[in-house]
Structure 1
Amino acid sequence: MTSGGLSEWASPRDWKITDEAGYRSPGPFGRRSREKEMPAQLTIGEFSVMSQLSKKALRHYHELGLLEPAHIDAFNGYRHYDTSQLRTAQIIRRFRTLGMSVPDIRAVLATDDVDRRNQIIGAHLRRMETHLRETREAVGSLRELLEPTGRPIGVEFRSVPATRAWAITATVATPDFGDWYRGALREIRSALNAGRHTPSGPAGGLYAPELFGDEIGEATVFIPSSATSGATGRVMIVEIPEAELAVTVHRGTHADVDRTYGALGSYVAERLLSVDGPVRENYLAPEDDPHGELLTEICWPIFRTTTR
């Protein structure tokens, strides 16, 4: 490439050159018929057409160090690429179409370690699979909302006595809840197993209204057990207080648990039974699979003066 941006294998009369925002077009004699095997140099416009990446994207990738031009004219600053860079551009385009982050793409392109490269790509594919599963769940839930069955939920009134349990309590932000919940449940289960203690009931949770309304609030995850010693780390032996509860069962995924919450909350509110206090959940199955079919008791605190 000369300082004027002309190809080494084409004379000035063979090409008309515009600025970086334009495209190089054949002169009156067209391209020379003799092909050289060395990579041909291209304007950013030509490279954009061949790679299907916009000039804006190419400039952005240059700034990020992801795809640098083969040559930058010292006089006018125009970017020039060569045909050997098309494969890299195609790889970048496909990864970006799949939603891979720029840092991950840079890491894939920079490493010669096949295992490391596969590790990065595999991690991204797993994230995509999770997103796809969540999207399918959301679509299914939306379809059910658009075609409501109108079936009433079954509600049971239950007086729950105070219960000893091994528990972890923390103030949790809603976006962090899933990871916190799974980690806390594993830690409690591990502590019980270490002491060879047997749970006396299904795992459960107590969640303050602020966790839903303010996106941060107190959360307690617990597993009932009569064991009185041996708790370690964050695990505490506590007494889950007695409560009067309206209980219904949620069957399905976490994506549509809001429908069960809405139905139970409406049932309680319409009968003027609701009182302040944490919502309780009992995890019947599975306890810690956020994408599995759930069987969870949703328990709303209520006021009762008589046995129902």
Structure 2
Amino acid sequence: MADVRAVLAAADVSTRNELISAHLARLEDRLVQAQSAVESLRELLSRSAHGSAIEYRTVREQPAIGIREAVDRRDVVSWWQGALGELHGFVTARGVRRTGPMGGLFASELLEDERGEALVFVPVDGAARPVGRIEAVVVPGAELAVAVAVHHGPLQTIDLTYGDLGVHAARHEIGVDGPLREFYLRSGLDVAGEHDWVTEVGWPIFRSNG
């Protein structure tokens, strides 16, 4: 009602249009949030009663180039998209040979405290000279619980897959401190629509060799 009164009281057309545009932007933002909530609920309804199938995997350390930054959870998707595109452009322009899918490491504080360190990386063959935000990194090896039924679709609904892995690690008392890990088998660099994205998700665990 306050917005309607402000529009009716506007002194000129320009002021009126600015008020309407601002209100429209707020409505569009709410629509995006509502659509994200709808997609999350649809994903929840379509999931198996047992959640994702889980397997264990040993991942060895690998040389890579990456972009690392402390980010807020609410900003992580937009930050991720920018970092992924920047790395892809660097690899393409320099003719660097990739040795595996692009991936990400995300500190557990991102889930627990809403802010933490994030690293997006590209495994590469040999050293590459750092430029700007891009640095040479060694992605550490890890024992992981991996969702065999990888996450399909936008990252806004990936919490459900993480939830399956977290419950599994807690139930079997095998969870350890360490970053959460993602491998982007298909991302916005490969396919046009978000619903065609495919992300493999890993949770750090303890696994004895015996």
Measure, in 1, the Cα distance between the counterparts of 2:53 and 2:46.
20
1:26-63 Cα shifts (integer Å, max 9, x gaps): xxxxxxxxxxxxxxxxxxxxxxxxxxx88x843x458x
Contact 2:65 2:128 in 1 (8 A): no
Residue matched to 2:209: 306
Residue matched to 1:222: 121
**CA distance change for structure 1 residues 195 and 284 in 2, over 3 Å: closer, same or farther?**
same
Measure, in 2, the Cα distance between the counterparts of 1:147 and 1:221.
30
The one-letter amino acid of 2:22's match is: S
1:258-284 Cα shifts (integer Å, max 9, x gaps): 111111110111001100010001111
**CA distance change for structure 1 residues 306 and 190 in 2, over 3 Å: closer, same or farther?**
same
The one-letter amino acid of 1:150's match is: A
**Partner SS state of residue 86, structure 2:** helix
**Partner SS state of residue 87, structure 2:** helix
**Partner SS state of residue 145, structure 1:** helix
Residue matched to 2:153: 252
The answer to which structure, 1 or 2, has the higher relative contact order (CA under 8 A, 6+ apart) is: 2
Equivalent residues in 2 for 1:132-151, closer than 5 Å: 132=31, 135-145=34-44, 149-151=48-50
Residue matched to 2:171: 270
Measure, in 2, the Cα distance between the counterparts of 1:290 and 1:275.
35
Residue matched to 2:141: 242
Measure, in 1, the Cα distance between the counterparts of 2:176 and 2:39.
33
Structure 2 spans left out of the alignment, 5+ residues: none
Q: Identity across aligned pairs (percent)?
A: 35
**Partner SS state of residue 172, structure 1:** strand
Measure, in 2, the Cα distance between the counterparts of 1:251 and 1:155.
15
**CA distance change for structure 1 residues 287 and 223 in 2, over 3 Å: closer, same or farther?**
farther
**Aligned: 1:200 with 2:121:** no
CA RMSD of aligned residues (A): 3.2
**CA distance change for structure 1 residues 178 and 153 in 2, over 3 Å: closer, same or farther?**
closer
Equivalent residues in 2 for 1:174-193, closer than 5 Å: 174-193=73-92
Contact 2:64 2:123 in 1 (8 A): yes
The one-letter amino acid of 1:67's match is: A
Measure, in 2, the Cα distance between the counterparts of 1:300 and 1:147.
23
Measure, in 1, the Cα distance between the counterparts of 2:39 and 2:56.
30
How far did residue 131 of structure 1 move?
6.0
**Partner SS state of residue 117, structure 2:** strand
Measure, in 2, the Cα distance between the counterparts of 1:220 and 1:142.
29
**Partner SS state of residue 234, structure 1:** coil
Residue matched to 2:130: 231
User: How many residues of Structure 1 are paired with residues of Structure 2 in the alignment?
Assistant: 205
TM-score (norm 2): 0.82
**Aligned: 1:67 with 2:29:** no
**Bigger radius of gyration among the two:** 1
Contact 1:202 1:282 in 2 (8 A): yes
**Partner SS state of residue 158, structure 1:** strand
Equivalent residues in 2 for 1:1-308, closer than 5 Å: 57-58=4-5, 60-61=6-7, 67-68=10-11, 96=20, 100-101=21-22, 128=28, 132=31, 135-145=34-44, 149-248=48-147, 249-287=150-188, 291-306=194-209
Contact 1:195 1:230 in 2 (8 A): no
Runs of 4+ in 1 over 4 A off after TM superposition: 130-134, 287-290
Structure 1 spans left out of the alignment, 5+ residues: 1-52, 69-84, 106-123
Contact 2:110 2:117 in 1 (8 A): yes
The farther-off stretch of 290-299 and 275-284 is: 290-299
